[in-house]
Each structure stands twice: as structure tokens, then as C-alpha cells.
A and B are shown apart, each in its own frame.
Chain A
Amino acid sequence: MFSKNMAIIVGLMILITLSIIFLSISSRPAHPAQGQSRFAIAVVAPFQKAISATVRFFQDVWDRYFFLVFTAEENAQLLKEAQQTRFLRHQYEEVLQSNQRLRRLLDLKAKTTMPSIAAQVVGKDPSPWFQSMLVDKGLKEGVAVGFPVVNPEGVVGLVVEAAAHYAKVVLITDPNSAVDAIVQRNRARGIVKGGPSGFCVLHFVLRKHDLKIGDTVVASGMDGVFPKGMPIGQISKIVKQEAGIFQDVAVMPYVNFEGLEEVLIVPVQGLEKKP
């Protein structure tokens, strides 16, 4: 009834359809960490850790002994900055004290903060199309899926998979990530998603909001994951289309993802999981 070629074509069509269905199902978010993923991370991550440590050692040698020429110049600059910082610190102290007085006055309880977990980056994503990394802390150190990852510069990403001693973190620059955010100056709300070339895009900001290039975007805390007020980046481009209720906003993250070596994983109450 069917020729051999016809059967091959039909077979191929079925296999392609099955592949698409499989990818559609597996791309759905919030599926729990799978056994084979943990196994793969446990196999590869220790080697990555060893190689990363070796690379860091040689980088340190280079920075300490061969780069001293630039250090004197940098030192002068830092001394100047330290003077400015001292002045700002006095101002900050004043604001802090008045803030504390007002908090007491309003009877606000300070939010209990849990200690964060410091981790080192051991490996980056093998594909330039996705943005993730492996860190050297996992379930046994108290890390669980869903914990936010930050560093002193701002929001880094989210733990999406955790093995015994390692975890996979999807960065905020990944197309699949999303952070509920607000613009610090005027509290305009939106969702920060991964964009091209290390940039992020602030989606769903209403046209009526007056945004400016250089405005700081911070986590709103509304998603219950990222700490409220944690800096994400600054607005680098604003496009208001002729039609539509939203404006297109590009955000340049504060975190330098290419040079990222250490991060802090912030435990979230209710997400902790025993190994």
C-alpha cells in the first residue's frame, strides 16, 4: 500500500512531531530536579571546580606580581574615592538614624534575615544561547531550588537545580528568567527578563510612566523570591512605540556576569529542603 520512501517520510514526520512534543513538555517551568541532572552535575562539577581553582590561581599570580604597575595609579584614585565615601557615610548615618527613629515610631518590626550562603562559581553554561552557571554549594550546604542568588552589585539569578554539593543557577540575563521589578525613582513596575548580549529587558511598564536613561531598577519583592530593593541594573534605552500600552525598556545589569566568581545564595523561608 505504501512505498518504502513514503514510509520513511511518514516515520520522520512522526519522530519530528514527537521531538517537538517532548521539548514542549520539558520546557514547562517549575518541574522538580531530576535524578539524571543531579548525577550529571555531580560528575562534571568537581572537575570544573578544580580547573576553575587552577585558572584563578594563575590569574592571582598575574594580578599580584605582574600588574603592580597599575596598582599605584589605582591606589591614588581609591584614596580620593575613600574621602568621598567617608563624607557620604556621615550622611548615610544621619539618614539611618532618622529611619530607625521613624520605624520605632511606626512600630514596624524589622524583617528577620537568614544568613546567606557564600558560593564560588565553578562553571558556565556550555551554550551561548542560555545563561546559567554552576556554583559549589548544594543541598548539603542548605541550598534549595528557588533560592535567589545575589552579589554586592545586585541580583544574579535563581537556583533551578541542586545536587548534593553543587547547584545550577539561571542568570537574570537568560531568556527564561523573570524578576518582578520596580524603577527606584518613580516606582513604575515591570518584569525584568533576559535580553540580548548580557542585557535585560523591562517588560510591561506602562507608557504613562516617565522613565529616564540611568534610572535604577530594583527588585520589587512582590515575587516573594528576590529581596526587595536589591539593585538589578540601570535603564540604558527607552523606546515608546506609536501604539501599545507598554514601553520597551532595556536594562543594563549592575552585575558583571563575565567576571563573576563569588555569589551569595539567600535562603527563602518555605523553600528549604533537606538533602
Chain B
Amino acid sequence: MTITFYMLVSLCLVLIRTTLIPAIPLFEKFYDLLIPIIIYLGFFRRKREGIPIVIFFGLIMDSLCGGPMGLYLLTYIWLYTAIRWLTRVLHAGSLPLLALAVALGVTFEISILLGYMAFIAAGASIPVDAGKTVFLQIVWALLTGPLIMIIIGWFQKRLDFWRSKIFAD
């Protein structure tokens, strides 16, 4: 049930990112909306719930994106692993820490994408306006990332409440 919930939420975010956001002028450089989900799953959910979502949506994003197959999959796996490791040393609960985590997640993804474009892609190079895109993505992530995680957390609590009520009955 929890996996289905995250599947639906992630699918909604992918659809928003690929259909609605490109139509809004100020949002064309928006960040990857799945990053808050991956960070949330890494911090707050169990591995058996997180890993299938990370792999499934890594493949989905690779299929929808113009980049090479595996780029998003690897990025998400590394990000999820790093967050799981971080949960050993710190407890994520405060808003500033969540905002920082999303911003760092976006920076990590951008680093991998730019690294790919600079060193691996045949004949490709880093775009001249990359700095502007990076800046805008990080600002958007800081502003909206924690909000997405709070909304997911709220829905997760409702889901847990209804589930406990159904099984109690």
C-alpha cells in the first residue's frame, strides 16, 4: 500500500514536471521533483519501500529524458545510498535541514549531469548558461523542496492512520 502511494505521488510529480511546468515561463529551469521524494524515502521510510521506487522511477526518468539510459537511475541510487548513510549520523526532522538536504540532492544530481556532459558524452560540453540554471534550480529546491516533503509526510500520516483504523476494525 505504501509503495503504491509513493508510486502514484512520484508519477504525479513526473507528469507535473513534463506537462505543466514547461508551460509556465518562470519555471522552465525547475529542478527534478523526484529528488524530495528520494530524500524523504531515504530519511523516513524503510529500504523495502524506498529501493523499488528509486529503481522504478530512475528507469522512468531515463526513458523520458534525452540523456543516456542509466543516468538518472545511477544518480538516484547514489543519492538514496548517501541519504541512508546519513541517517546513521544525523536525525532529519527540522525544516532547514530538509531544505539543505534537497538543495544538496539537487546539487549532487547537477554535478553528475554536468560531469557526464563534460567528460563522457561524445562531443558535448557544458552549456554556457549552466551557472544560471544551477543557481535557479538550487533556489527553487530550497524554497519548494521542504514543502513537498511536508505534504508527503502529512499524507503518509493520514495513510498510516486509516490503515491502523482498518486493521483495528
User: Which A residues form the contact surface with B (CB < 8 A)?
Assistant: 19-20, 22-24, 26-29, 31, 34, 36-41, 43-44, 47-48, 51-52, 55, 122-132, 134, 160-161, 168, 170-171, 174-176, 178, 193, 195-197, 258
A161 to chain B: closest residue by CB:
B63
- A126 interface neighbour in B65, B68, B116, B137, Cβ under 8 Å: B65
Query: Is the beta-carbon distance between B32 and A36 smaller than 8 angstroms?
Result: no
Show 13 A/B contacts (Cβ-Cβ < 8 Å), sorted by A. A23-B68, A27-B121, A34-B69, A44-B11, A44-B15, A44-B63, A44-B64, A52-B19, A55-B20, A126-B17, A130-B66, A174-B66, A178-B123
In the complex, identify which listed stretch (B40-48, B95-103, B125-133, B154-162) lies at the interface while the others stay far away: B125-133
B127 to chain A: closest residue by CB:
A196
C-alpha gap A20/B120 in the complex (Å): 8
- A23 interface neighbour in B30, B59, B120, Cβ under 8 Å: B120
Please tell me if B49 contacts chain A, counting CB pairs below 8 Å. no
- A128 interface neighbour in B14, B19, B28, B63, Cβ under 8 Å: B28
Query: Is the beta-carbon distance between A132 and B121 smaller than 8 angstroms?
Result: no
Number of B residues near A (Cβ < 8 Å) is 44
Please tell me if B71 contacts chain A, counting CB pairs below 8 Å. yes
Query: Is the beta-carbon distance between B124 and A175 smaller than 8 angstroms?
Result: yes
Please tell me if B117 contacts chain A, counting CB pairs below 8 Å. yes
Please tell me if B29 contacts chain A, counting CB pairs below 8 Å. yes
**With contact pairs A27-B120, A258-B28 given, residues A125 and B15 touching in the complex (Cβ less than 8 Å):** no
Query: Is the beta-carbon distance between A26 and B70 smaller than 8 angstroms?
Result: yes
- B64 interface neighbour in A23, A126, A193, A196, Cβ under 8 Å: A126
Known: A22-B70, A134-B18. 12 other contacts (CB 8 A): A23-B116, A27-B67, A37-B69, A44-B11, A44-B15, A123-B15, A125-B64, A126-B64, A128-B137, A168-B63, A195-B127, A258-B28
Q: Smallest CB–CB gap between B104 and chain A, Å?
A: 18
Contacts of B23 in A (CB 8 A): 55
C-alpha gap A74/B19 in the complex (Å): 29
C-alpha gap A128/B117 in the complex (Å): 13
C-alpha gap A24/B124 in the complex (Å): 13
Query: Is the beta-carbon distance between A123 and B19 smaller than 8 angstroms?
Result: yes
**With contact pairs A24-B120, A123-B18 given, residues A196 and B66 touching in the complex (Cβ less than 8 Å):** no
**With contact pairs A22-B74, A23-B70, A131-B66 given, residues A126 and B120 touching in the complex (Cβ less than 8 Å):** no
Contacts of A44 in B (CB 8 A): 11, 14-15, 18, 60, 63-64
